Chain A
Amino acid sequence: MDQHIPESSQQPIFDLNVDEIANRNLWGAAGWARFLSVVVFIGIALVIIAFLSLRSQITATLSRFIPGMDGIGFAVGLLAAAVGIAVILFYFLINGAILVRKGLLNKDQSSFNNGLSSMKNYFIMYGVVAIITIILTILGLFVK
């Protein structure tokens, strides 16, 4: 009995495949996601360098904004929280992108699924951060 291999343009009868078009689109999406993550990591490094080099000015400015508060402690805490969230978020994205590409390249279902799982974690974390941000924005509107 002949095995019929469906062409990329044809609709799979029973299940979904990573056909030629899906392969190309996912490859592109993973490539851009990886690029985006690398740029963000470079950006984070630049922010840390800028913070360290302009530490005294930032401390002085924050002390004026919030008198009596430890300016540098507040700034370091804020920066550490932002950097921590960004690093975890974009770790998920870059890991997902690398694994999806590896899966596509080596036709490795396990790597492909793990990559999608990591990307899923990125979307979940991004969503949670977005929800927290919107709640804080709404609270800010009421405080005003």
Chain B
Amino acid sequence: MQTDSHSPAIFELRIDETAKHHLLTMASWGLIIGIVAIIKYILSVIEYIQTRNRVNYQFGDITVSTERNNLGGMIFTISIGLLVNYFLYQFSSLTKRGITNLSQVDLNRGFASLRTYFAIIGVLIIIALCLGTLGILMSGMNLTN
């Protein structure tokens, strides 16, 4: 007598109708997030062109630099953003295609893109936190001196 415990357990999970519905919604919103991000990058470029001559603002004895003259920084930010959102777009399109066409290969590639998307954001957020902590420590040291 063959028991279920002998069959590989990974085949027991299925992408049932509920899972498909959740994945399709995730894919749709992923696409929206990607499109919104691209619009935001276009707006950043427009904003840069509009305000590149207005670099410093004076508030009493406080000078605030807008850093809009930092073209390299903007290009770097947009490049990273495009890379991250490319993987989100890949997740959205491949998952949607996989579910619509019942293609396991596309679905698996979609999940792989989702993994890469979260991995890149994870690494970026570690770098951002390190820089942020360094900034707070430096500003704290400046305030005490």
Contact = CB atoms under 8 A, between A and B. Distances in A.
Nearest to A3: B2
A137 B44 CA distance: 9
Contacts of B8: 5, 20
Secondary structure type dominating chain A contacts:
helix
B11 A36 contact: no
Contacts, number: 165
B43 A134 contact: yes
Contact of B15 (A5, A15, A39): A15
A19 B10 contact: yes
Contacts of B30: 123
B22 to A, nearest CB: 4
Interface of B: 2, 7-16, 18-20, 22-23, 25-26, 29-30, 32-33, 36-37, 39-40, 43, 46-47, 50-51, 59-60, 62, 98-99, 102-105, 107-108, 111-112, 114-115, 117-119, 121-122, 125-126, 129, 132-133, 136, 139-140, 143
By Cβ-Cβ distance, the 3 closest A-B pairs, closest first, are A32-B118, A25-B111, A16-B15
